């Protein structure tokens, strides 16, 4: 995150505030993932094709990437707290728009605007990092990261269960209620004593231009960003196509079943920290290559095991076991560089990641609409093979230096 040098904090956050911030991150992050298990039901309700409904998450991801690029640098010039309150309030408004949207076009517009202002998950860690004791920074950062994973998990599981009982609109009414609660309590959650004085650093235009310059001059970050862009594309394509596949006439499962399967992602909460420590021991590039190869093996099982909900558990466990590690190891390759440029490199990395997510949303639903589950499996295998190839190239480039 881009930290403001002037965003001072004379007091530390309490434990209650730390956990409240983790809950805030979970709720705000969840907004982009409610659609995963219910996308088939929404397409039917709006009367649009499987390919067309994929535009909703795609535009949300593209808008999120644009928002991170254009709005995140504001954290260098304005209070992280005030920005978070403003952006969360805007998210609450657009979430209400999703709940009441009368048609596909208005729903897509509200979803796109929601993505553009989803900046709080990237500002809150910056806010917290300046308000905890140095020896507890890693612990609090891990807590906020767990909030992100938990938010994605609950969104996908909860959306399937709620939609099965009350319809897909009830999902967004529940999400609006959660966002309204966050909006009300956020000023208290982020309250710290003392007066912050803002000292402007680089002009906004210069800061934005430097993001592009640093990205183009850092090969490690660009390779890692491309790998994670493909990885996130595979993630979104998998779950959107899987929701359409499971709820199709051929298989006939309900959206609640899709939600239950999404719960498999809980394994990454346990596996990712352990695999991160393993990556510290053998190096991030080698760990990423091994994880990519394991993921490719899991993806190869999607076709033969993808026709029954019970057999699908096997490849989903494998993919969720190592998928987040590809992201973690990718960040490790450039977060060891000088602190002055890490934030802007991270901005480029995240922007490219969400562009990949948008492409995966379009590709996953379009390919499924055109070629069904077999076509989706081919798409995922090609993406995963590319990840392995790029990871191998990164290892060889590193060893040749």
Q: Which of 189, 221, 250 is the last residue in one of the domains?
A: 189
In a domain, 174, yes or no: yes
In a domain, 199, yes or no: no
Same domain, 259 and 399: yes
Same domain, 342 and 297: yes
Same domain, 384 and 255: yes
Same domain, 225 and 176: no
| 134 secondary structure, DSSP code | G
Give me the pLDDT at residue 6, please.
Answer: 43
Same domain, 249 and 328: yes
pLDDT band per the 50, 70, 90 thresholds, residue 114: very high
Residue 200's SS3 state is: coil
Q: Which of 154, 189, 224 is the last residue in one of the domains?
A: 189
Structural domain that includes position 272? 204-401
Distance CA 356, CA 333 (A): 19
Domain at 359, CATH number = 1.20.1250.20
Q: What burial class does residue 31 get, using C-beta atoms within 10 Å of its C-beta: 0-12 exposed, 13-18 middle, 19+ buried? A: buried
197 pLDDT higher than 50: no
Percent of the chain with pLDDT over 90: 35
Give me the pLDDT at residue 3, please.
Answer: 46
Higher pLDDT, 56 or 331: 56
In a domain, 354, yes or no: yes
Total of domains in the chain: 2
**pLDDT tens digits for range 229-288:** 999 999 999 988 998 898 888 888 887 887 788 778 777 777 776 777 787 788 888 989
Give me the pLDDT at residue 380, please.
Answer: 96
6's tokens = 């002037």
Same domain, 32 and 123: yes
- SS3 labels along 67-120: HHHHHHHHHHCCCHHHHHHHHHHHHHHHHHHHHHCCCHHHHHHHHHHHHHCCCH
399 pLDDT higher than 80: no
**pLDDT tens digits for range 315-325:** 999 998 888 88
Mean pLDDT of 67-91: 84
In a domain, 44, yes or no: yes
Same domain, 375 and 258: yes
Mean pLDDT of 103-112: 94
In a domain, 338, yes or no: yes
96 pLDDT higher than 90: yes
Same domain, 159 and 268: no
In a domain, 196, yes or no: no
Percent of the chain with pLDDT over 70: 88
Task: Report yes or no: 284 and 329 within 8 Å, Cβ to Cβ.
Answer: yes
CA 32-105-244 angle, to 5 degrees, is 55
Same domain, 172 and 226: no
Q: Cβ of 278: how many Cβ atoms within 10 Å?
A: 14
pLDDT band per the 50, 70, 90 thresholds, residue 173: very high
Give me the pLDDT at residue 387, please.
Answer: 96
Give me the pLDDT at residue 372, please.
Answer: 92
378 pLDDT higher than 90: yes
Same domain, 129 and 176: yes
Same domain, 322 and 398: yes
Same domain, 312 and 388: yes
The model carries a pTM of 0.77
Q: Which of 132, 156, 189 is the last residue in one of the domains?
A: 189
In a domain, 172, yes or no: yes
In a domain, 162, yes or no: yes
Give me the pLDDT at residue 50, please.
Answer: 79
Give me the pLDDT at residue 10, please.
Answer: 47
216 pLDDT higher than 70: yes
pLDDT band per the 50, 70, 90 thresholds, residue 4: very low
């Amino acid at each position: 995150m881009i930290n403001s040098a002037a965003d001072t904090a004379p007091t530390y956050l309490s434990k209650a505030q730390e956990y409240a911030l983790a809950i805030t991150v979970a709720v705000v992050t969840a907004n982009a993932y409610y659609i995963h298990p219910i996308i088939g039901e929404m397409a039917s309700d709006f009367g649009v094709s499987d390919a067309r409904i994929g535009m909703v998450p795609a535009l949300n991801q593209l808008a999120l990437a644009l928002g991170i690029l254009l709005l995140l640098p504001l954290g260098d010039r304005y209070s992280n707290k005030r920005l978070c309150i403003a952006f969360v309030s805007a998210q609450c408004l657009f979430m209400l728009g999703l709940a009441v949207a009368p048609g596909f076009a208005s729903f897509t517009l509200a979803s796109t605007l929601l993505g553009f202002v989803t900046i709080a998950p990237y500002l809150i860690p910056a806010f917290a990092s300046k308000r905890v004791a140095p020896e507890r920074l890693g612990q609090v950062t891990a807590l906020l990261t767990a909030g992100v994973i938990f938010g994605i998990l609950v969104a996908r599981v909860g959306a399937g269960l709620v939609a099965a009982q009350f319809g897909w609109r009830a999902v967004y009414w529940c999400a609006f209620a959660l966002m309204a609660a966050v909006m009300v309590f956020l000023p208290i959650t982020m309250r710290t004593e003392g007066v912050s004085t803002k000292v402007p650093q680089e002009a906004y235009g210069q800061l934005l231009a430097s993001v592009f310059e640093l990205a183009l001059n850092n090969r490690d970050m660009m390779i890692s960003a491309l790998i994670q862009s493909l990885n996130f594309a595979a993630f979104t394509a998998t779950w959107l196509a899987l929701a359409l596949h499971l709820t199709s006439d051929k298989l006939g499962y309900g959206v609640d079943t899709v939600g239950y399967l999404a719960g498999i992602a809980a394994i990454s909460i346990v596996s990712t920290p352990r695999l991160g420590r393993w990556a510290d021991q053998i190096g991030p590039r080698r760990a990423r290559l091994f994880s990519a190869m394991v993921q490719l093996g899991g993806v190869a099982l999607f076709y033969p095991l993808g026709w029954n909900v019970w057999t699908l558990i096997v490849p989903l466990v494998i993919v969720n076991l190592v998928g987040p590690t590809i992201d973690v190891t990718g960040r490790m390759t450039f977060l060891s560089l000088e602190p002055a440029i890490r934030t802007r490199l991270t901005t480029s990395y995240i922007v490219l990641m969400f562009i990949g997510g948008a492409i995966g949303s379009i590709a996953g639903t379009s390919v499924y609409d055109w070629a069904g589950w077999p076509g989706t499996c081919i798409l995922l295998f090609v993406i995963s093979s590319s990840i392995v190839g790029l990871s191998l190239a990164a290892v060889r480039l590193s060893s040749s230096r």
